[in-house]
DNA sequence: GCGGACTCAATTAT
DNA sequence: CATAATTGAGTCCG
C-alpha cells in the first residue's frame, strides 16, 4: 500500500516534528491534540514549545488536500491511529512525500510480498486487515529475497504479512497480532532448545532469535518513531522481553534504556527523548508511583572510572526537559514468578522536571533526571505497588469479603472482593478444585503412563512425550507452547515425580486469584499477579453430567461447560511453522479432538473457573487435557493465558456457541435464547449463547 | 541461594 | 558500510 493515506499522513506528521526551521510556520494549521501520536501535547506546552509544534514545512505537502490531514487527524482523536476522514478505500496518493530515511527504521524484507488490499485504512471498527499470502494473484510482486521460500510456498499459506502502512502505524489489533506471533515463535524456539539440551548445552537466546525472525519478516509495527502515545499499546501493558517492546514500537532500542529521535538536517543536533526503560542497571529511584529519578546512560560496566557524557540519550533527556515533551516510561522489575527474569510495565507518559549531575557509586559523574507522571492517566505501576502491599498485609484491600473463598482447598488463597455495591457474595456452592466423574470417561481402559523417572524434553523414549507428537508440551517455565488437539500429561501411573514438568494442569493454582464483583457483569475473575502468555490458570471444575438428562430436567443451569458446543475456531495462537522453516503444516492444527463429548456443571460444586465471564476478545482459552486417575484416563478442561495479562485485569474466555452464560443476571435473554454480550471489546459479536 | 563477574547477543545511530 | 554503544539474560563461581 505504498502511497496510501496512512503513509502520507505519517510522513507529513514526521516532517512536522523533525523539521523545525522557523520560517515556515503554519501555526494555524496545527491544532491542539492530546491524541496526536507524534507530537507533545501542545495544550500543555508553554509558548516556546508551541513554536516547536507548529512548524509544518510546505515542501512535504503533496497537495492542498493534504493540508487537512493534521487537523483532521488531531481533531478526530482516533485512538488507533486510523484516519477519521477521507475516502477509506480511496486511491493512493500519488504525490505522497518520499520517505525520510533517517526517521524510519530500514525497510524489512517481507518473506512473501503482500498483495494489495483494497482498503487498508479507514475502517475504524473493522478487523485487522492482514494479507494471507495465497500467491495466487498475478499482481503479487516478488522480490529476489523471496527465493528461499519459493519452493515451499504451499506450506506458507497461513503466514500473515503486514503491509507498509501497518508496519509504520499500528492499531490494537496489529499490536496484538505482533505480540502473539512473537511469543508463539519464542515459545517454539525455547521448546526446540530445551529438547536439545540433553545432548549439547547451547546458550541461545530464544527471545532475541524470535525478535530477529519477526523483524526480518516485517512482522512489527509502529516503526515510525513518535513521542507520546503509541497506537495499540495501552498503559499497563506488560512485556517479558525487551524485544517485544521493540517490535511494537513502544521502545526502539533492543538494549539501550533511552530511545530518542534526532532532528537531522538541523545544523545543531536536537535529539528528543521518546521513551525510557528503568530496569535496575543504574541506581534509579523508582519507588514512588508518580516520580522516577532516572540515571543517564554510560559509565556502567566500564573498567575505569568514567564520567557520563552529555550526548545521545543523555542529551535527548536534557533537550526534552527544555521542550517539555511527553516521554513514555517503562518500569522493569524482577518477575516474582520467575526470579531470574524481568517484567516490564508500560506506565504511561511522564515529563522531565529537572536534571542534575552527581557523583556515581563508581566515582564518575552521572546525570540524573527527575521524571514526573502526567496526571489523569489510567493506573499501571501503582497497581503493582498496591498488590505488593496487599500481599504483605499492609494496607487493607478495599471491599474484601473473604480472604479465601476456597477455604484452603487450593494451594493459594482466592480472595473474594466487592468494591462496587452491597452484594456480599455469589450464591452458595461447594468449592472443589477439580472435575468429578461419576463413571469412567471412556469404556476403554488403557495404560497410558510412561516409564521415565524424569521426563526429559527431547527424549522420545518417553511415551507421554510421544503422545504429544514428540514435543514436550510445556517449557521449563511451565508455559504451554502450542494448542493441540489433545494434551497428554503424566499421571500417577508414571514413575516420574509429582513435580514432573508434564503435570502442569494437575499442580494447582499458580497465581493469586480474586473473585470480584464487576460493575455490570456479575462476578468475575482476575489475578493479583502478572500472567505470561501460555501460563496455566486453572481447570474447569464441577460435576460431569449427562447432557440428555440435563435437557429433560429443564432446571436452569448457567454453569455448564460443554466441549461439544464450544467454539474457539477464530483463535489462532500457535506459531507459524513457515516462519521457522518447519514443514509441519498438518501437525500444527488448533482443532481439538474430543474422543467423547464432556459436559461439566459447576452449579453445585466448582472452582474459580465458574466465575470467568465471556468476552469476544478473550485473554484465556481452554484446552482438553488427558491423564489418569485410578488407572483410567480422564478428560480435563484446562485454561491457559492467550496473551500476557497485567495484574487486576479480568480473565475471560470465549463462550462460543455454548448455551452457558455466567451465573448472574447480567445478560438479558433475547427471544431466541441468545444472550446480549457486554464484553465491550472492539470486535464484539453482540450476542452469545 | 544469591550476587558479582563475565559472556554473548541484536539493533541502531554514526 | 563497518563499527561503537547499549544492556538483557544467561552461565559460572565463590
User: CA torsion angle for A678, A681, A682, A683 (degrees, to 10)?
Assistant: -80
Q: Are A510 and A479 in contact (CB under 8 A)?
A: no
Neighbouring-strand partners of residue A369: A294, A355
Same domain, A426 and A492: yes
Same domain, A377 and A411: no
**What is the Cα gyration radius of chain A?**
27
Note the maximum CA span of chain A. 84
- Predicted local distance difference test score (pLDDT) of residue A155: 38
- Predicted local distance difference test score (pLDDT) of residue A456: 83
Whether A416 has a pLDDT exceeding 70, the answer reads: yes
Confidence of residue A447 (pLDDT cuts 50, 70, 90): low
Same domain, A269 and A207: no
Same domain, A590 and A628: yes
Confidence of residue A265 (pLDDT cuts 50, 70, 90): low
Ramachandran assignment for A140, one of left (phi > 0), alpha (psi -120 to 50 degrees), beta (any other):
beta
Neighbouring-strand partners of residue A331: A278, A345
Give SS3 for A640.
Answer: strand
| Residue A602 in domain | yes
| Range of lowest pLDDT (A122-136, A166-180, A221-235, A329-343) | A122-136
HSE-CB at A477 with a 13 A cutoff on CA atoms is: 20
CA–CA dist A124, A78 (Å, integer): 8
Q: Residue with C-alpha cell 543504574?
A: A282
Nearest nt to the CA of A203 via C1' is C10
Confidence of residue A205 (pLDDT cuts 50, 70, 90): confident
More confident residue, A591 or A274: A274
- Predicted local distance difference test score (pLDDT) of residue A47: 28
CA–CA dist A554, A539 (Å, integer): 26
Question: Which bases of strand C have any atom within 7 Å of the beta carbon of a protein residue?
Answer: 5-12
Whether A223 has a pLDDT exceeding 70, the answer reads: yes
CA–CA dist A84, A576 (Å, integer): 33
| Range of lowest pLDDT (A16-30, A120-134, A315-329) | A16-30
Nearest nt to the CA of A297 via C1' is C6
Mean pLDDT for A319-342 is: 91
| Residue A62 in domain | no
Mean pLDDT for A220-229 is: 94
Whether A331 has a pLDDT exceeding 90, the answer reads: yes
| Residue A367 in domain | yes
pTM exceeds 0.85: no
Question: HEC states along A487-529?
Answer: EECCCCCCCCCCCCHHHHHHCCCCCCEEEEECCCCCEEEEECC
Give me the CA A230–C1' B7 separation in Å, rounded. 34
Q: Which residues touch strand C (CB under 7 A)?
A: A 201, 203, 205, 207, 240-242, 253-257, 277, 279-282, 297-298, 300-301, 312-313, 332, 340-342
Whether A130 has a pLDDT exceeding 60, the answer reads: no
Confidence of residue A582 (pLDDT cuts 50, 70, 90): confident
CA–CA dist A652, A599 (Å, integer): 19
Mean pLDDT for A243-252 is: 95
| Residue A493 in domain | yes
Whether A89 has a pLDDT exceeding 60, the answer reads: no
Identify the DSSP state of A65: G
Residues 479-508, chain A: which have Cβ under 7 A from strand B?
A: none
| Range of lowest pLDDT (A71-80, A127-136, A338-347, A581-590) | A71-80
pLDDT over 90 percentage in chain A: 44
Give SS3 for A620.
Answer: strand
Same domain, A514 and A606: yes
| Residue A177 in domain | yes
Of A181, A206, A224, the domain-final residue = A224
Q: Are A495 and A621 in contact (CB under 8 A)?
A: no
Residue A618 beta carbon within 7 A of nucleic strand B: no
- Predicted local distance difference test score (pLDDT) of residue A558: 83
| Range of lowest pLDDT (A130-139, A291-300, A628-637) | A130-139
| Residue A36 in domain | no
Confidence of residue A399 (pLDDT cuts 50, 70, 90): very high
Mean of pLDDT over chain A: 75
Q: Residue with C-alpha cell 496526536?
A: A36
Cell of A630: 485410578
More confident residue, A556 or A627: A627
CATH number of the structural domain spanning residue A530: 2.170.270.10
CA–CA dist A317, A146 (Å, integer): 41
Give SS3 for A330.
Answer: strand
More confident residue, A298 or A157: A298
Number of domains in chain A: 3
More confident residue, A77 or A356: A356
Same domain, A618 and A489: yes
pLDDT over 70 percentage in chain A: 70
- Predicted local distance difference test score (pLDDT) of residue A451: 82
Question: Which bases of strand B have any atom within 7 Å of the beta carbon of a protein residue?
Answer: 2, 8-14
- Predicted local distance difference test score (pLDDT) of residue A665: 36
Domain of residue A565, residue span: 396-658+673-679
Same domain, A182 and A259: no
Nearest-CA neighbor of A578 among A566, A568, A588, A570?
A: A588
Confidence of residue A113 (pLDDT cuts 50, 70, 90): very low
DSSP for A447-501? ------SS--TT-TT-HHHHHTTTS-SB-TTS-B----S-EE---TTSSS-TT-G
- Predicted local distance difference test score (pLDDT) of residue A454: 83
Q: Residue with C-alpha cell 507548529?
A: A54
Nearest nt to the CA of A339 via C1' is B2
- Predicted local distance difference test score (pLDDT) of residue A585: 58
Confidence of residue A666 (pLDDT cuts 50, 70, 90): very low
Q: Which residues of A198-237 are buried (b: 16+ CB within 10 A; e: fewer)?
A: eeeeeeeebbebbbebbbebbbbbbbbbbbbbbbbbebbb
Q: How many helices (H) and strands (E) does chain A have?
A: 12, 27
pLDDT in tens, A67-84: 233 333 333 333 332 222
CA–CA dist A60, A93 (Å, integer): 13
**Inter-CA distances, A353 with A32, A46, A356, Å:** 22, 14, 11
Whether A224 has a pLDDT exceeding 90, the answer reads: yes
More confident residue, A105 or A512: A512
- Predicted local distance difference test score (pLDDT) of residue A587: 61
- Predicted local distance difference test score (pLDDT) of residue A516: 98
Same domain, A414 and A374: no
More confident residue, A420 or A19: A420
pLDDT in tens, A178-202: 999 999 999 999 998 888 755 555 5
Give me the CA A136–C1' C10 separation in Å, rounded. 45
Same domain, A423 and A553: yes
Same domain, A531 and A605: yes
Of A338, A357, A383, the domain-final residue = A383
| Range of lowest pLDDT (A96-100, A224-228, A600-604) | A96-100
| Residue A244 in domain | no
| Residue A125 in domain | no
Amino acid at each position: 500500500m505504498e502511497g496510501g493515506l496512512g503513509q502520507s499522513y505519517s510522513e507529513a506528521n514526521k516532517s512536522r516534528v523533525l523539521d523545525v526551521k522557523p520560517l515556515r510556520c503554519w501555526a494555524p494549521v496545527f491544532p491542539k491534540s492530546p491524541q496526536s501520536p507524534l507530537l507533545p501535547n501542545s495544550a500543555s506546552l508553554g509558548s516556546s514549545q508551541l513554536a516547536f509544534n507548529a512548524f509544518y514545512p510546505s515542501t512535504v505537502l503533496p497537495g492542498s488536500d493534504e493540508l487537512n490531514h493534521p487537523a483532521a487527524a488531531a481533531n478526530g482523536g482516533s485512538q488507533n491511529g486510523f484516519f477519521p476522514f477521507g475516502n477509506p478505500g480511496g486511491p493512493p496518493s500519488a504525490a505522497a512525500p518520499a520517505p525520510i530515511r533517517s526517521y524510519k527504521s530500514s525497510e524489512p524484507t517481507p518473506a512473501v510480498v503482500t498483495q494489495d488490499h483494497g482498503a487498508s485504512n479507514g475502517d475504524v471498527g473493522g478487523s485487522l486487515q492482514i494479507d494471507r499470502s495465497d500467491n495466487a494473484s498475478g499482481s503479487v510482486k516478488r522480490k529476489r529475497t523471496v527465493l528461499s521460500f519459493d519452493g515451499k510456498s504451499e506450506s506458507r499459506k497461513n503466514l500473515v504479512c503486514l503491509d507498509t502502512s501497518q508496519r509504520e502505524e499500528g492499531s490494537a489489533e496489529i499490536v496484538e497480532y505482533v505480540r502473539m506471533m512473537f511469543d508463539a515463535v519464542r515459545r517454539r524456539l525455547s521448546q526446540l532448545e530445551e529438547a536439545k539440551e540433553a545432548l549439547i548445552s547451547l546458550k541461545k537466546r530464544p527471545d532475541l532469535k524470535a525478535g530477529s525472525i519477526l523483524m526480518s519478516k516485517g512482522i512489527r509495527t509502529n516503526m515510525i518513531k513518535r513521542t507520546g502515545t503509541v497506537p495499540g499499546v495501552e498503559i499497563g501493558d506488560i512485556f517479558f522481553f525487551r524485544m517485544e517492546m521493540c517490535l511494537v514500537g513502544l521502545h526502539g532500542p533492543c538494549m539501550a534504556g533511552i530511545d530518542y529521535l534526532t532532528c537531522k538536517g538541523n545544523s545543531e543536533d536536537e535529539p528528543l527523548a521518546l521513551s525510557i526503560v528503568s530496569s535496575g542497571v543504574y541506581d534509579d529511584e523508582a519507588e514512588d508511583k508518580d516520580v522516577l529519578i532516572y540515571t543517564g546512560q554510560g559509565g556502567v560496566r566500564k573498567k575505569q572510572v568514567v564520567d557520563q557524557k552529555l550526548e545521545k540519550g543523555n542529551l535527548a533527556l536534557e533537550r526534552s526537559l527544555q521542550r517539555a515533551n511527553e516521554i513514555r516510561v517503562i518500569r522493569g522489575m524482577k518477575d516474582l514468578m520467575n526470579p531470574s527474569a524481568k517484567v516490564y510495565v508500560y506506565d504511561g507518559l511522564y515529563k522531565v522536571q529537572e536534571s542534575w549531575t552527581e557523583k556515581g557509586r563508581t566515582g564518575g559523574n552521572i546525570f540524573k533526571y527527575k521524571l514526573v507522571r502526567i496526571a489523569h492517566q489510567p493506573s499501571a505501576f501503582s497497581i503493582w505497588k498496591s498488590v505488593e502491599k496487599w500481599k504483605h498485609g499492609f494496607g487493607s484491600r478495599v471491599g474484601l469479603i473473604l480472604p479465601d473463598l476456597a477455604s484452603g482447598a487450593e494451594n493459594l488463597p482466592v480472595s473474594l472482593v466487592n468494591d462496587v455495591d452491597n452484594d456480599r457474595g455469589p450464591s452458595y456452592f461447594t468449592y472443589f478444585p477439580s472435575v468429578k466423574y461419576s463413571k469412567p470417561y471412556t469404556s476403554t481402559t488403557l495404560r497410558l503412563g510412561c516409564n521415565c523417572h524424569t521426563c526429559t524434553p527431547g527424549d522420545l523414549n518417553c511415551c507421554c512425550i510421544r503422545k504429544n507428537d514428540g514435543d514436550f508440551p510445556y517449557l521449563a517455565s511451565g508455559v504451554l507452547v502450542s494448542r493441540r488437539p489433545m494434551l497428554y500429561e503424566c499421571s500417577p501411573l508414571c514413575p516420574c515425580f509429582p513435580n514432573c514438568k508434564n503435570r502442569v494442569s494437575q499442580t494447582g493454582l499458580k497465581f493469586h486469584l480474586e473473585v470480584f464483583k464487576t460493575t455490570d457483569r456479575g462476578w468475575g475473575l482476575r489475578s493479583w499477579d502478572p500472567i505470561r502468555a501460555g501460563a496455566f490458570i486453572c481447570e474447569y471444575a464441577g460435576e460431569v453430567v449427562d447432557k440428555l438428562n440435563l435437557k429433560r430436567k429443564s432446571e436452569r443451569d448457567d454453569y455448564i461447560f460443554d466441549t461439544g458446543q464450544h467454539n474457539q475456531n477464530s483463535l489462532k495462537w500457535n506459531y507459524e511453522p513457515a516462519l521457522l522453516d518447519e514443514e509441519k503444516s498438518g501437525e500444527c492444527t488448533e482443532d481439538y479432538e474430543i474422543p467423547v463429548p464432556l459436559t461439566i456443571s459447576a452449579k453445585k460444586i466448582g472452582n474459580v473457573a465458574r466465575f470467568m465471564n465471556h468476552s469476544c476478545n478473550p485473554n484465556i482459552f481452554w484446552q482438553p487435557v488427558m491423564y489418569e486417575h485410578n488407572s483410567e484416563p480422564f478428560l480435563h478442561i484446562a485454561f491457559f493465558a492467550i496473551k500476557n495479562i497485567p495484574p487486576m485485569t479480568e480473565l475471560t474466555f470465549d463462550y462460543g456457541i455454548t448455551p452457558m452464560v455466567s451465573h448472574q443476571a447480567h445478560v438479558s435473554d433475547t427471544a431466541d435464547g441468545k444472550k446480549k454480550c457486554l464484553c465491550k471489546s472492539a470486535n464484539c459479536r453482540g450476542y452469545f449463547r
